[in-house]
Amino acid sequence: MATISDKADLRPSHLADFLKKASPGHKGSHYITDLKCTGLSLRLKNEKVAFFLRYKGINKTLGWAHEGEAWYIPSIKAARELAEKVKRQIDFGGDAHADEFLRQHHHAVENNLGLSHDDIIREMRPKAGTWTLRRCIEKTIEDKTAENASKPWRATTISTLNSTFAKPEFKDLLDMPAVNIKRADIESIRDAMLKKHASPSPAGKAVSNVSTILSHCQSVHGGLSGLDRVEPWWKLLTVGRTVKPRTRNPGLEGLAKTLVLVDTYTTRRLPGRMDAKHDHKYGIRDGVAAAFHWVCLTAQRQGAALAIRKAYYVPDPENEGWYLAAWGEGIMKAGVAHILPIPPRLAQHMAAKFALVDRPDSQWLFPSERGEEDIHIHRSSTLAVCQRLAARDTLTKKRKTAVDLFAANGIKWWTPHDLRTTITKTLDQAGIPGGASVVLAHEMRRTDKLDVEDDDSREQRIARITRLAYGGAQHLHLKRKAMLVWTDAVLDTYSRLRSEKSSNTESD
């Protein structure tokens, strides 16, 4: 009999039909290729019904649909889940790796061993006495944060590294001995990220962080890590793509409109989000709203802007009404302390925001509302403000009713990092071409340290901040001029839009 081949979104009815036809004496073949799971097919050949996978040139029988037989797969759903797991093993280890995984998987199922997917993967891996990739990561961080570390890492560096290795693409590698990791493993992760993300940046971080970790362990802990005799293939890895420079610029109008929306939805639920289980009572929490205003009006990087202690936000003793915001050298990307003058108008604006979220027990200017630990609001929270307003967050993708408030208000998509373009253009047009550089801490030299151990005196801190601010290298007078122009431009536009919104509401 001829072979019949179809394509369809596999359903339980297809499986039931094939099992009914697979009676003794049945002849011929009928294949249905699944449209939902790439490479998976349901196959009836003579008297047998099987689930089959064809992926990257490798053909693999996943199991059989007949209850009581070895390698039994009971449903379409189970077959799809198994197919995805096998494809991951093919990606990492090819045909032989997939065969071993299938053998271990079905053995665990048939003997009711209760092994998870991760348990099976661990059973497959060679038992080496050297460090796993996870241990290499932990040891490198330990070394780079030691008191006498050579070229110590900042907290933001560690956060970025942990974020990279927490991605699902690394899940199967973390507990593998580092000596067993092959170049093809990392290339596979790189390629998956390039396909998944519009920007090559995540793939670049993956390649860079792997190289950093393995290079450190090879040079410092070669014996224990097992990397002492390994050719450093990771140093040859590249992404092969470039990150395009950002051109997004919300402009003063787009920025101010967004700030008004933020204020509006601290007391309202975002439109189209009526799922009380996942959405907050109001669209944006007061603490996150205050943090977002601060990030926008200071134009600092989100991570640094939010990592400011109350003790480092002090009145400027040299200028009435002004404040000084200070960040230690361990926080700033440039690795030097940074002082930013805060004009009276901005100080008053933020004072109203602080009053809504003040937590006397916290050391942070922007304390997190989550958890019991005293931590500051994370930069992901201020980025999420734009994502939620523009209906681009994860929950929105699952729910089609959410309203894109950016589009509804004529705001082009932007994120807080894009404000660096806005402030630069604003200050250039005002005749202060160097203003953005000093405000953004682009051109600073190390002159003194802000962070000093065993210093609990408020007076000493203020004196040190003042000395650092007026010592010359901080360019405080240029910063003050630039911050006046920038904050007045934003707050003037913001006040106008709030007034227009209030007038429209009254007329309605």
Give the per-residue pLDDT at 180.
85
Q: How confident is the model at residue 229 (pLDDT cuts 50, 70, 90)?
A: confident
Tens digit of pLDDT for each residue in 123-174? Answer: 666 555 789 999 999 999 999 999 888 888 888 789 889 999 999 999 989 9
From CA 220, how far away is CA 140, in angstroms rounded?
A: 9
What is the per-residue burial (b if ≥16 Cβ within 10 Å, else e) of 53-72?
bebeeeebebbbbbeeeebe
Mean pLDDT computed over 322-345: 81
Q: Taking the chain, what is the end-to-end CA distance rounded to the nearest angstrom? A: 75
Which pLDDT belongs to residue 360?
83
Answer whether residue 402 shows pLDDT above 60: yes
- Segment 205-220, tens digit of pLDDT: 999 999 999 999 999 9
What local confidence, expressed as pLDDT, does residue 60 receive?
92
Percent of the chain with pLDDT over 90: 49
**Mean pLDDT across the stretch 483-489?**
95
Per-residue pLDDT for 472 more than 60?
no
Is residue 50 within a helix (H) or strand (E), and if so which, with residue range? strand 48-55
Q: How far, in Å, CA of 222 to CA of 227, rounded?
A: 5
Q: Which of 14-18, 81-85, 176-180, 241-245 has the lowest mean pLDDT?
A: 241-245
Res 49: pLDDT: 93
Q: Name the 3-class secondary structure at 279.
A: coil
Mean pLDDT computed over 363-379: 86
Q: Please give the CATH topology (third level) of the domain spanning 133-236.
A: DNA polymerase; domain 1 (1.10.150)
Q: Of the spans 237-251, 356-370, 386-400, 437-451, which averages the highest pLDDT?
A: 356-370
Q: What is the mean pLDDT of residues 71-87?
A: 93
Task: Look over the chain and give the mean of its residue pLDDT values, rounded to a whole number.
Answer: 85
Q: Which two tokens stand for residue 14?
A: 């297809």
**Do residues 343 and 322 touch, judged by C-beta distance below 8 A?**
yes
Mean pLDDT within 414-424: 92
Q: Looking at residues 487-500, what average pLDDT do you find?
A: 95
The pLDDT-based confidence of 261 (bands split at 50, 70, 90) is very high
List pLDDT tens digits, range 281-324.
678 999 999 999 999 999 998 888 898 999 999 999 999 999 99
Q: Give the C-alpha separation, 170 to 213, whole Å.
A: 14
Q: Given pLDDT bands bounded at 50, 70 and 90, which one contains residue 452?
A: very low
Position 396 scores a pLDDT of 61
Rounded to whole angstroms, the Cα distance separating 71 from 66 reads 9
Predicted confidence band of residue 110 (pLDDT cuts 50, 70, 90): confident
Q: Given pLDDT bands bounded at 50, 70 and 90, which one contains residue 242?
A: confident
pTM above 0.75, yes or no: no
Give pLDDT, residue 448.
Answer: 46
Q: How far is CA 130 from CA 174, 198, 223, 230, in A?
A: 13, 37, 8, 13
Predicted confidence band of residue 75 (pLDDT cuts 50, 70, 90):
very high
| pLDDT higher than threshold 50 for residue 329 | yes
In this structure, the strands spanning 29-34 and 3-8 are: parallel
- Angstrom CA distances, 453 to 32, 55, 62, 446, 461, stand at 69, 58, 61, 18, 11
Q: Does the pLDDT of residue 347 top 50, yes or no? A: yes
- Beta strands (DSSP E) in 160-231 are none
Q: Which pLDDT value is given to residue 397? A: 57
| Domain regions of the chain by residue span | 3-124, 133-236, 251-507
Q: Judge whether residue 334 has pLDDT over 80.
A: no
Lowest-pLDDT range, 223-232, 329-338, 419-428, 475-484?
329-338
Q: Tell me what the mean pLDDT of segment 491-501 comes to.
A: 93
In this prediction, residue 447 has a pLDDT band, given cuts at 50, 70 and 90, of: very low
Which pLDDT score, from 0 to 100, does residue 440 have?
Answer: 78
Using 50, 70 and 90 to split pLDDT, how confident is the model at 407? very high
In the structure, what pLDDT confidence band is assigned to residue 109 with cuts at 50, 70 and 90?
confident
User: What value does the mean pLDDT take over residues 476-502?
Assistant: 92
Helix%, strand%, coil% for the chain, nearest 5: 50, 10, 40
Confidence of residue 255 (pLDDT cuts 50, 70, 90): very high
Residue 258: pLDDT over 70: yes
Q: What local confidence, expressed as pLDDT, does residue 332 receive?
A: 62
User: Around Cβ 160, how many Cβ atoms within 10 Å?
Assistant: 15
Half-sphere exposure of 178 (CA within 13 A, CB side): 32
Chain centroid to Cα 392, Å, comes to 14
